[in-house]
Amino acid sequence: MKTYLADYINMLRVEKNLSPHSIEAYERDVNRYLHFLKEEEKINSLEGVNQKQIRGFIRVLNDADLAPASITRIFSSIRSYHSFLSEEQFVQKNPSQLLDAPKPSRKLPVVLAVEEVNKILGVVDTAKPLGRRDLAILEILYSAGVRVSELCDLRMIDLFLESEMIRVTGKGNKERLVPIGSLARECMNNYLKYERPALARKDRNLGKIFLSRNGRPLTRMAVNIIFNKWVKVSGIKRKVSPHTFRHSFATHLLERGADLRSVQEMLGHVDISTTQIYTHLDREHLKEVHRTFHPFEKKEKQ
C-alpha cells in the first residue's frame, strides 16, 4: 500500500514548521494507524479507507486502555494525514472529514483532606538546613494554589506581603494577584529573613525567591523532590504531587462556600469550565458524606 508518509512528514517539517518532537509523534501515530489498516482491515489502498475503519481503529485504542488525551491526539494525527492526502489529490476523498473527535473524559484529580495537608506541613523540620525554605514552598503551593512552574518563577518584586498578595505569572505570561494566608506569610518572612540572604550570595539568581543550596533558582524537578521528601516523612501513602496541593486548594475553598469565579481568578484559568471540575469533586464529597452519615444508608450497610 502506497502511504505517501514521507511526503506527509516532509510537509509537517517544511510547511507546518513543527518541532522534531511533534513530527515524531505524528509519524508514530500514523504508522500505528497504517499498521492497523494493513494487518487488521486488510486494506491495500488508501482509497478503500472509510469512516468505519477509522472508528474501528479508535475502538482498538479504547480497548488498549489508552488515556483519553492520547486517543484524541492520535485521532488528530489521522485527520491531519487524511487532509493532506486529499489536498494533494493522492486520494479522491477524505473519510475523516465528517468524523467528530473523541471527547476525552475528565478524570477527577486527587485531593487531600485538610488534615492530610496539615500533616505534611507539620512534619517539616525548620531547625534543619533549608527547612524554612521547604515549609515556605509548601505553604505557598497550598495557600495560593500556584503551579510548580509559577512558584519557581516567583521573584522578590512579586511579593506584596504587607498587602497579603503575591503576583503570579501564569500560562501565556498572564499575570494575576493571588492572596496568601497568614501562615504562608509568616513562613515566607522566616525564609526571607533567616535563609535566603546566605543562599542569594552564592550565585546570580536573577531575583528569584526560592533558591537551591548553591544559590541558583529552584527547578520544577527540585520542587518535586522537596515535596515528595516531606510527604514520605508524613507517612501519607497516597500518590500525590505538588499539583495535588493546587487541587486541594481549589476544592477546599469551594467546599467552604467560595464562589466559582473567584476560584477561577486565583487559579488563573482562562475558561471557567476548567475550574468547574472542582465542583464535581465537591459533589463527590457530598455524596460520600451522605453515604457515610445518612441513617438509611447506614441501615443498608448493616
Which residues form the catalytic set?
147, 171, 243, 246, 269, 278
How far apart, in Å, are the Cα atoms of 134 and each of 174, 190, 193, 280, 289? 26, 11, 14, 32, 34
Within a 13 Å sphere around the CA of 61, how many CA atoms are in the beta-carbon half?
Answer: 24
Q: What grid cell was written down for 267?
A: 487559579
CB 23 within 8 A of CB 11: no
Distance between CA atoms of residues 302 and 293, nearest Å:
13
DSSP 3-state of 25: helix
Q: Nearest 5 degrees, angle CA 19-CA 170-CA 217?
A: 85
Nearest to 33 by CA among 23, 21, 43: 43
Alpha carbon of residue 208 to chain centroid: 23
Distance between CA atoms of residues 79 and 84, nearest Å:
9
